[in-house]
Amino acid sequence: MLGGFFLWLLLSTKYTVTGDALVVQSGPFKWRIVKNEITKIVPSKSIISSPALSLDRLRIDYARGRNSILISPRDKDGFLKAVAAGSNAA
């Protein structure tokens, strides 16, 4: 049962950049981060649990730095360009 849950997390983790938001999905968990609320994106090697499939991660600070999330997009440069497009942040 627990193995199935972790497999679900592994197979369903994705990051979608829309015109105004970053949507992070991992199993039953979903975060919607408005791009204008992103204050900083920095590389991270943190081992803290997160919807990231690798330790080569990006930490995204948002909501005036009160919240953060760790993700690991395959194409970091493309991801950063997508987040920056149409946004004053990142």
Q: What pLDDT does 87 receive?
A: 55
Output the pTM of the full model: 0.82
Is-contact 40 65, C-beta < 8 A?
A: yes
Domain-located, residue 89: no
**71 lies in which domain range?**
2-84
Output the CA torsion 71→77→80→81 (10° steps): -150
- Total domains in the chain come to 1
Count of CB atoms situated within 10 Å of the CB of 30? 10
Can you give the pLDDT at residue 23?
96
- Is 80 domain-assigned? yes
Is residue 39 within 8 A of residue 62, CB to CB? The reply is yes
CATH of the domain at 67: 2.30.29
What is the block-wise mean pLDDT of the chain (90 residues), using blocks of 10 residues?
72 89 94 95 90 90 92 94 70
d(CA 26, CA 19): 21
Look at residue 89 in the predicted model and tell me its pLDDT: 44
pLDDT of residue 85: 85
